[in-house]
Chains A and B, each alone.
Chain A
């Protein structure tokens, strides 16, 4: 018996071809709905996400600054964007508040709001980019996180800085980003003390990262060598999320 080559000359029935093609398309559409919801695909995502962390870390430069804009371009009414309604925001008493410090930090004494606000401050007019695609230019004022970390004697050779927030949120960033000159503990937005829903007494403003990497209502900062993850990161978003 001879093996016949594929029948290149065979007449393809157009109708059959269409039918087969259509049903294949329909099949992908039907299964497309939950093709992401299985362990194999999620395992692949986790591996690719780690690779993307590495790529972004390599692309990041400690001296490359995010573009700054003229103050006239700063939006006055900044967009509120959290998973809960703004009237659910945690109301923090400026007199009772204490910022806790933990991990690889020499001086772990808690900080009060007046102590924090007495730190040297500078302003930036930068673009806030949300992972969902919207973006907004705003003016933030506060202390470079590097100044604070130096002041409390943090181990700057450690890998991560973690943040805990009053609303149950938590986040973490790499040390190079924490020491970037534009990474600040922002006390003010549009020249006014942060309103409750924007993170009073302060938020971490990082123009080199997406919006969700910038925690509000920070109640604790810790330095560690173990990746602490993050609220959205643990729900599937990329950890580095640099811009």
Chain B
């Protein structure tokens, strides 16, 4: 069946320029690498009691080989992933920020940010009464995107505070000292994990957003509510 070319008058359209898609997927890859390797590093000296992440969910090679070959629980590989992934994350994050600021994408699509609207949309979403229109972000989404951008920024801040507690001791001090900076690094990681779970769940509910992020464009007839 031949379909009519989607037009803004008849369709909701979502478009993502190449730079956004590239930055999005590179950040996605980098964050998976950072979380997987971060969990392996965390496991070597847990912060919260004896809680450790399951090995299958971590990144850093076969722990048995590392242990037998070099008396190392796979932390060397995990650290290598972490200190490689951070450059990928930094690059793609900066690309995303620069593009968003210069193109006006941030002002156009991610503002305004009003607490009352966020609360209203949050309640609507929680009770299943929030309609989703392709190409338009509701207040909760706008808040979530700013939130995750801030969380990644804080991962850099707390990460630098842990990596360089001497050369950047002022930053470590701002983070409340070395042990506190480590806990903060964990907390912002957890925030990003929550974002990922919700983000992926919503993509599964509205798969066309995935098409837009892969191919650059997706459309659907107006008044189709999810």
Contact = CB atoms under 8 A, between A and B. Distances in A.
Interface of A: 6, 8-9, 12, 14, 17-18, 21, 28-29, 32-37, 44-45, 48-49, 51-52, 59-61, 64-67, 83, 127, 129-135, 207-208, 232, 235-238, 242-243
Contacts of A235: 70, 72, 76
Contacts of A37: 61-62, 65, 77
Contact of A45 (B62, B70, B80, B182): B80
A243 B167 contact: yes
A132 B166 contact: no
A192 B4 CA distance: 85
A35 B65 CA distance: 13
Given A12-B208, A235-B76, A35 B166 contact: no
Given A17-B204, A232-B76, A133 B166 contact: no
A9 B167 contact: no
A23 to B, nearest CB: 14
Contacts of B223: none
28 contacts: A8-B218, A12-B208, A12-B211, A17-B210, A21-B204, A29-B56, A35-B61, A36-B59, A36-B60, A36-B61, A44-B84, A45-B81, A45-B84, A49-B83, A52-B83, A59-B167, A61-B167, A64-B167, A127-B165, A132-B45, A133-B42, A133-B44, A133-B47, A208-B167, A235-B76, A236-B80, A237-B79, A243-B163
| The 7 A-B residue pairs with the shortest CB-CB distance in the complex, in nearest-first order | A236-B76, A36-B61, A45-B80, A235-B70, A12-B207, A36-B77, A132-B44
B179 interface: yes
B107 interface: no
Contacts of B56: 29, 32-33
Contact of B166 (A18, A32, A45, A64): A64
Given A48-B80, A59-B164, A243-B167, A129 B215 contact: no
A231 B164 CA distance: 22
B68 to A, nearest CB: 12
Contacts of A8: 6, 208, 211, 215, 217-219
B72 A135 contact: no
Contacts of B197: none
Contacts of A132: 41, 44-45, 75
Contacts of B80: 36, 45, 48-49, 236, 238
Nearest to B204: A18
B93 interface: no
Nearest to A60: B167
B63 to A, nearest CB: 9
Interface of B: 3, 6, 32, 36, 41-42, 44-45, 47, 55-57, 59-62, 65, 70-72, 75-77, 79-81, 83-84, 87, 162-169, 173, 178-179, 182, 204, 207-208, 210-211, 215, 217-220
Nearest to A236: B76
B12 to A, nearest CB: 11
Contacts of B217: 6, 8
A48 B44 contact: no
Contact of A83 (B6, B32, B71, B83): B71
A83 B167 CA distance: 28
Contacts of A60: 167
Given A8-B215, A238-B79, A243-B165, 9 more contacts: A6-B211, A8-B208, A9-B220, A12-B210, A32-B36, A49-B83, A133-B42, A135-B178, A208-B167
Contacts of B167: 59-61, 64, 208, 242-243
A33 B84 contact: no
A210 to B, nearest CB: 10
Contacts of B178: 127, 129, 135
B165 A48 contact: no
